Structure 1
Amino acid sequence: MGKWLSVLIFFVLLLSGCETEELNKPSPSKLDSEKSAANQTVNGKGLNSQSIVPLKVKEADFQFIIDWETDETLLFVERKNSRSIVSAYDLLSGVKKEVYVSDEPIVSAQLSPSREYLLIHSASTAYKALLTVIRLPGQQIVFQEEIESKEVHYEWNGYDETKILVSAFYEDWSFRSYLIDIEKRSLQEMNLSQPFAVWLKQSRFLYLDWGNDEPRITAPLTIYENGNEKHVKNEEKFYYIDGWKNFLLAIAPSDKDPSKAIFLFYDHELQPLYSFEIPHLTDFSGWVIPTYDLAGKNFFIIEPKKSGEADLYNDGFRLVKRNIKSGKEEVILKSVESAPLLCSPKGKSCLTGNLYEHIIFINEKKMASVIEFE
């Protein structure tokens, strides 16, 4: 499973058949024994500010961190000898293991919600995308195809991770939407009027209907199912949505105070679960979406302390954890930079920074470096 509606996002996905093949896997070695021993030395306490072994990497080789594979392991990309390498790095032991190698530059990659699959977007030209999905247990390619596109945006189906919604954008910013079925190795074109849809159920999609006639700053929610579109919650207007299995997030300007945004969480039947309001910042295109991530039922967000114009704002940000089920709110850091946020599966640690170079230990409320460039 982090999509500004005002800006086209590029990312990954893939198409039809390519025969499943087994990747080369490293044989058991001394490193595996060292990893096991290192995990035992922390006595099951897991990752914390005393146990972390930062990733040491050459700055010229480092590309980007993909995500947390587990609560202690990161997936990241390096470029070495004209090859792109995806590796898993254990922050407790300092052990690195190759996961996937591409002869083409890797543009982006994303884990499926359960972290069983990894989708990799690599490209040799600006107008083609090689989309590869591997199953991490066994490091097995399960899908691979090249498609024409300038940029790619995709959404994993949290209810059935063998299905992915893909939006392929072209040079004139026209787009086509496709439904990928990994098991059937099929590609079906979808007649969606908007590109940035999220899964509402196994076969239902939700998006904001921005129309095509004139610019808007808010839009109604629209459900797409079996070729039909239906507006819902017509009395409310939103400017951003996101979705996970069992949760939908919609953001709208507050009716009570236009200088604030209201974050509304719904279940898959669009029944309200939880909401809160925070100050929001504006830019030339509308409202700025704060960086956030969801781990279980805990929603982490780096939010501004006051409202204002983004270009002129200097009143600071804070990291806050909110529980969608209980409504409990906790300030993790009173002062933090506004930067991307990526939290571990159980929400015990979060990465932040433009390169995800910092780690925040949630229970300790401490920050440290997670990357040491050589």
Structure 2
Amino acid sequence: MINNKKVSVLICFLLSILWLSACQPEETQTSPSEKEKTEKKEIVAEILTSDSFVENIGWLSDSEILTVQNEDGQTSFYIYNLYDGSNMKIYEIPSSYVSASISPDKEKILIHSAPVSYSAQVTIIDRGGEVLFQEEDVPSYELTHSWSKFDDNALLMTSFSEDWSFQVFRIDVEKGIMDPIDVEQPFVQWHSDSSVLFQDWNTDEISVSAPLLSQNIVDGGKEMIVDSSVHFNQFDDSLLSIFSREEEGPFTYQFITSSGEIQAEFTVDLLSRYSDWLIPYYDMIGGKGHLITFKANEPGSFDTYTGTFSLMKWDTVSGKEDVLFDDLPLEPIQCSPNGEYCLYGNQLEKVIVLTNSNIIQLLKEEGADM
């Protein structure tokens, strides 16, 4: 038989615990995981030394970047953590480094080196430095490549000869093969897992724009995507095409969905150059639809331009436009996956903190106090 007095005491005890819990300060009720989310980490400044620094390649995560350094006649690749300054060397090659890039999934790194003149070596490694693919003695006066946004193991590569004749290749990292494909233009990007994009330039006349075509690399079938485009770029969720309805501008940045619908448009004035128009540096923050780009604050010619540039954020979903900085030098920019930071500078040696408009120097000048 249950003792009513004992039950009453137990209920009072439990109610007292609940009441005391409710009266505790709010911070004591936050779980450890929630605390970690609310604690704001800060980027460590001057973690790179200028005597060995070559360049930063880009983001491997929201807190890690890939850095290239020269060390004792070798070119070394490091992963740096920007929150604690720690680093890990993952790979090195002889001092014949040309360039490198990171795959969209942040799991692979392509390294272009040139051990001898007019010949390239293409090496693809994972984050741990294991070689996934390597092709030696690729004849090339110049080399360009484009990672696929649709297949983590696919990329396009174009090899140019000294007379600017070219050959486009499809690389399959997983299968370890590099096969030539028949494409009329050298500067190509993936449009799907089986088609590529290119501008169909008229070789008989000089023009600053051309039709943007999609070509199926299996059967060769072509489709016009945009009838006139100055510049294009395929992102994860949309295709950017820049064009002008008038010969002298203004220019429209148009974002097109995979179904061919216009998602958003922004109109700007571009600076002219000798034979074309300057497309300022930009980067897309994947998953958010935010394009971070520079915009000239005055019209004119880039060759004689002495004005300033604003750093803009365009929301390609809502159409909203924000000015992040109103006076910055025009330099390359590359944003972190979460969109909180952007590497910035000719060697990506600085970090722009987008949340508070702060700029952090990652490079410690030679001779500065330790």
Which category of TM-score, normalised to the shorter sequence, fits these structures?
0.7 to 0.9
2:265 equivalent in structure 1 = 275
Aligned-pair CA distance for 1:299: 0.6
Q: Secondary structure of 1:286's match? A: coil
Q: Secondary structure of 1:360's match? A: strand
Judged with a 3 Å threshold, the aligned counterparts in structure 2 of structure 1 residues 157 and 337 are, in CA distance, closer, same or farther, namely same
Aligned-pair CA distance for 1:153: 0.8
Say if 1:260 and 1:307, in contact at 8 Å, map to a contact too. no
Say if 1:302 and 1:317, in contact at 8 Å, map to a contact too. yes
> Given the alignment of the two structures, is residue 354 of structure 1 paired with residue 346 of structure 2, yes or no?
yes
> Given the alignment of the two structures, is residue 323 of structure 1 paired with residue 315 of structure 2, yes or no?
yes
Q: Secondary structure of 2:304's match? A: coil
Aligned CA RMSD, in angstroms, stands at 2.0
Counterpart residue identity of residue 188, structure 1 = D
Q: Secondary structure of 1:145's match? A: strand
> Whose radius of gyration is greater, 1 or 2?
2
Match of 2:252 among 234, 240, 262: 262
Judged with a 3 Å threshold, the aligned counterparts in structure 2 of structure 1 residues 79 and 46 are, in CA distance, closer, same or farther, namely farther
Q: Distance in 2 between matches of 1:222 and 1:229?
A: 10
Q: Distance in 2 between matches of 1:339 and 1:167?
A: 26
Q: Distance in 2 between matches of 1:117 and 1:285?
A: 36
Q: Secondary structure of 1:276's match? A: strand
Q: Distance in 2 between matches of 1:231 and 1:285?
A: 28
Q: Distance in 1 between matches of 2:253 and 2:261?
A: 14
Match of 1:208 among 199, 212, 216: 199
Say if 1:84 and 1:103, in contact at 8 Å, map to a contact too. yes
**In the TM superposition, what whole-angstrom CA distance separates every residue of 1:251-295 from its partner, at most 9, and x where no partner exists?**
11244x833211011122332111101110001011011100011
1:188-337 matched pairs, under 5 angstroms:
188-225=179-216, 226-233=218-225, 236-255=227-246, 258-296=248-286, 297-337=289-329
Q: Distance in 2 between matches of 1:175 and 1:181?
A: 20
Counterpart residue identity of residue 281, structure 2 = T
Higher RCO, Cα 8 Å, sep 6+: 1
Q: Secondary structure of 1:173's match? A: coil
1:47-58 matched pairs, under 5 angstroms:
51-58=42-49
2:67 equivalent in structure 1 = 76
Gaps of 5+ in 2: 1-32
**In the TM superposition, what whole-angstrom CA distance separates every residue of 1:132-191 from its partner, at most 9, and x where no partner exists?**
11122x432110111111111111111111111110111111110011111222222111
Q: Distance in 2 between matches of 1:190 and 1:77?
A: 32
1:96 equivalent in structure 2 = 87
Aligned-pair CA distance for 1:45: 5.4
Judged with a 3 Å threshold, the aligned counterparts in structure 2 of structure 1 residues 109 and 47 are, in CA distance, closer, same or farther, namely farther
> Given the alignment of the two structures, is residue 372 of structure 1 paired with residue 368 of structure 2, yes or no?
no
Aligned-pair CA distance for 1:229: 4.7
Aligned-pair CA distance for 1:227: 4.1
> Given the alignment of the two structures, is residue 164 of structure 1 paired with residue 164 of structure 2, yes or no?
no
Output the TM-score relative to the length of structure 2. 0.84
Say if 2:58 and 2:343, in contact at 8 Å, map to a contact too. no
2:57 equivalent in structure 1 = 66
Aligned-pair CA distance for 1:329: 1.6
Gaps of 5+ in 1: 1-39
**In the TM superposition, what whole-angstrom CA distance separates every residue of 1:94-150 from its partner, at most 9, and x where no partner exists?**
1111111112422111111110111111221231111111122x4321101111111
Shift >6 Å, 4+ stretches: none
Judged with a 3 Å threshold, the aligned counterparts in structure 2 of structure 1 residues 338 and 47 are, in CA distance, closer, same or farther, namely farther
Q: Distance in 1 between matches of 2:166 and 2:43?
A: 44
Say if 1:122 and 1:131, in contact at 8 Å, map to a contact too. yes
Aligned-pair CA distance for 1:192: 0.5
Output the TM-score relative to the length of structure 1. 0.83
Matched residue count: 329
2:174 equivalent in structure 1 = 183
Judged with a 3 Å threshold, the aligned counterparts in structure 2 of structure 1 residues 120 and 170 are, in CA distance, closer, same or farther, namely same
Aligned-pair CA distance for 1:362: 0.5
Q: Distance in 2 between matches of 1:45 and 1:348?
A: 15
Identity of aligned residues (%): 29
Judged with a 3 Å threshold, the aligned counterparts in structure 2 of structure 1 residues 90 and 143 are, in CA distance, closer, same or farther, namely same
Aligned-pair CA distance for 1:365: 1.4
Aligned-pair CA distance for 1:193: 0.6
**Structure with more of its chain in helix, by fraction:** 2
